[in-house]
């Protein structure tokens, strides 16, 4: 169904009609989730420290990911810290991570007393560059955090080959990519440790929560012991586990729909001059889209900022945000920079992110989204994107 709006219509931020309407709420309404909550209340398990739901979730995650050990915890952010503690990373050690990454990963390294070492990402991507790792390594390097971000997957074969030769442990952050795969192998199962997130906006959501996955007994035991303070100090609750179990069963179905919609949308993106698609760096990848990442064209009209473009599209109903700030400007007192981090700086400046629920909303929403993009593009060419431009016209 085509939208009745035209790309020449007045922008919504200037009083025109909003282009995108009827976005799905997140989490999606789910009868199985409601029944799981009611069942946990009816049998009293909702109030337990540990019960059948957490046990079932551990078993299910271990089965899916072919891992021997699953540590459920309060967030994906803490799961990264638990992974580092499980790997015995501590004071005086170094941990490499991308110069563009989730802020919590940098803080997790600091939390265990180690020093972050910033490594550049691949061009037109958000993935750690395998060729940059050797020059960034020092005698203090103990681990590297590899994140799958914004609908792309890191080149795990190359990264793991280097890490195996160098004797460096790999923490694989799959918080944005549950169910994604490379050559049929699930994200989160390549590294020494994998991490998932169940935050409120994530593809698997319990409002909060996370999990650490590993086949290494020593890593699991260290991480588990650290969290024991007379009880489990960083737990996932029975209620959270109860609502996650039915979502796991539908994850692949939803991921397939998101992939189909993202592919359809990408076909239209070539028509939009201010947007640039990321370069697919990893062969045989089946992504899952927590965020669909895009780059703004660096040759935007003079004076137009990313914040203005994001504001204009959000006014049209497009669930768009700016990307991470990245770490390239972090003080050398807090971290060591390996090289100039040019690609990381570029990503921090030009990344925009489309939130995933729109990818589950049907073709009519993608038609509306394309109209919104064309409306903003027309406004850019006519120099009437901002209220200032309209006033001066």
pLDDT at 270: 86
Range 282-296 average pLDDT: 94
Percent of the chain with pLDDT strictly greater than 90: 89
pLDDT at 1: 40
Is the pLDDT at 187 greater than 90? The verdict is: yes
User: Range(s) for CATH 3.40.640.10 in the chain?
Assistant: 31-247
How many CA atoms does the CB half-sphere of 354 hold within 13 Å? 29
Which tens digits make up the pLDDT trace of 139-150? 999 999 999 999
Indicate the CATH number of 251-392 among 3.40.50.2000, 3.90.1150.10, 3.40.50.1370, 3.30.420.10: 3.90.1150.10
pLDDT at 381: 86
User: Range(s) for CATH 3.90.1150.10 in the chain?
Assistant: 251-392
How many Cβ atoms sit within 10 Å of the Cβ of residue 61?
A: 22
- How sure is the predictor about 390, in pLDDT bands with cuts at 50, 70 and 90? very low
Residue 16 sits at φ, ψ, to 5 deg, of: -80, 180
Q: 127 and 150 in contact (C-beta within 8 Å)? A: no
Lowest mean pLDDT among 88-102, 138-152, 235-249, 286-300: 286-300
Q: How far apart are CA 152 and CA 377, in angstroms?
A: 25
209: left (phi over 0), alpha (psi -120 to 50) or beta: left
pLDDT at 281: 67
Which tens digits make up the pLDDT trace of 354-372? 999 999 998 999 999 999 9
How many CA atoms does the CB half-sphere of 374 hold within 13 Å? 16
Beta bridge partners of 98: 119
- The pLDDT mean for the chain works out to 94
Q: 106 and 247 in contact (C-beta within 8 Å)? A: no
Range 339-358 average pLDDT: 97
Is the pLDDT at 387 greater than 70? The verdict is: no
Q: 130 and 158 in contact (C-beta within 8 Å)? A: yes
User: pTM score, two decimals?
Assistant: 0.95
pLDDT at 245: 98
244 closest CA partner among 305, 200, 187? 200
Is the pLDDT at 391 greater than 50? The verdict is: no
**Cα separations in angstroms, 5 against 17, 165, 361, 375:** 8, 57, 18, 9
**Cα separations in angstroms, 298 against 12, 277, 310:** 25, 13, 15
Percent of the chain with pLDDT strictly greater than 70: 96
pLDDT at 23: 95
Residue 1: Cβ-neighbour burial (10 angstroms; 0-12, 13-18, 19+): exposed
Q: 244 and 198 in contact (C-beta within 8 Å)? A: yes
**CATH number, span 31-247:** 3.40.640.10
What are the start-end ranges of the E strands in 86-219?
94-98, 115-119, 141-147, 169-173, 181-182, 185-186, 193-197, 210-214
Give the ranges where the chain is alpha helix by DSSP (H).
31-42, 52-65, 76-86, 103-111, 133-136, 156-166, 217-226, 238-269, 306-315, 342-350, 363-381, 387-392
How many Cβ atoms sit within 10 Å of the Cβ of residue 59?
A: 11
Is the pLDDT at 6 greater than 90? The verdict is: no
Q: How far apart are CA 78 and CA 108, in angstroms?
A: 7
Range 252-272 average pLDDT: 94
Which tens digits make up the pLDDT trace of 201-231? 999 999 999 999 999 999 999 999 999 999 9
Which tens digits make up the pLDDT trace of 152-174? 999 999 999 999 999 999 999 99
Which tens digits make up the pLDDT trace of 17-33? 999 999 999 999 999 99
pLDDT at 393: 39
Which tens digits make up the pLDDT trace of 35-78? 999 999 999 999 999 899 999 999 999 999 998 999 999 999 99
């Amino acid at each position: 169904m085509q939208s009745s709006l035209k790309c020449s219509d007045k922008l919504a931020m200037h009083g025109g009609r909003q282009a995108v309407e009827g976005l799905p709420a997140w989490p999606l309404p789910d009868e199985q989730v409601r029944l799981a909550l009611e069942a946990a209340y009816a049998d009293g398990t909702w109030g337990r420290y540990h019960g059948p739901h957490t046990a079932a979730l551990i078993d299910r995650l271990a089965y899916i990911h072919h891992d021997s050990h699953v540590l459920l915890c309060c967030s994906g952010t803490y799961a990264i810290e638990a992974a580092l503690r499980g790997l015995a990373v501590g004071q005086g050690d170094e941990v490499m991570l991308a110069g563009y990454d989730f802020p919590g990963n940098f803080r997790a390294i600091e939390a265990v007393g180690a020093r972050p070492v910033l490594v550049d990402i691949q061009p037109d991507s958000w993935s750690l560059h395998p060729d940059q790792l050797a020059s960034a390594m020092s005698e203090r390097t103990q681990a590297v955090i590899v994140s799958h971000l914004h609908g792309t997957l890191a080149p795990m074969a190359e990264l793991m080959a280097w890490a195996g030769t160098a004797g460096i442990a790999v923490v694989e952050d799959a918080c944005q990519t549950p169910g994604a795969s490379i050559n049929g192998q699930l994200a989160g199962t390549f590294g020494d440790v994998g991490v998932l997130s169940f935050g409120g906006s994530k593809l698997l959501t319990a409002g909060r929560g996370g999990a650490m996955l590993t086949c290494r007994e020593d890593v699991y035991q260290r991480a588990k012991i650290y969290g024991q303070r007379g009880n489990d100090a960083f737990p996932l609750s029975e209620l959270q586990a109860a609502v996650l179990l039915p979502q796991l069963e539908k994850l692949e179905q939803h991921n397939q729909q998101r992939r189909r919609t993202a592919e359809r949308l990408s076909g239209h993106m070539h028509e939009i001059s201010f947007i640039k698609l990321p370069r697919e760096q990893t062969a045989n990848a089946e992504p899952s889209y927590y965020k669909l990442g895009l780059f703004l064209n660096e040759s935007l009209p003079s004076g137009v900022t990313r914040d203005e473009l994001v504001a204009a599209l959000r006014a049209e109903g497009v669930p768009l945000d700016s990307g991470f700030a990245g770490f390239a400007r972090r003080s050398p007192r807090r971290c060591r920079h390996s090289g100039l981090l040019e690609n990381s700086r570029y990503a921090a400046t030009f990344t925009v992110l489309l939130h995933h629920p729109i990818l589950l909303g049907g073709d009519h929403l993608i038609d509306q989204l394309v109209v919104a993009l064309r409306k903003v593009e027309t406004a850019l060419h006519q120099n009437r994107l901002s209220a200032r431009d309209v006033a001066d016209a």
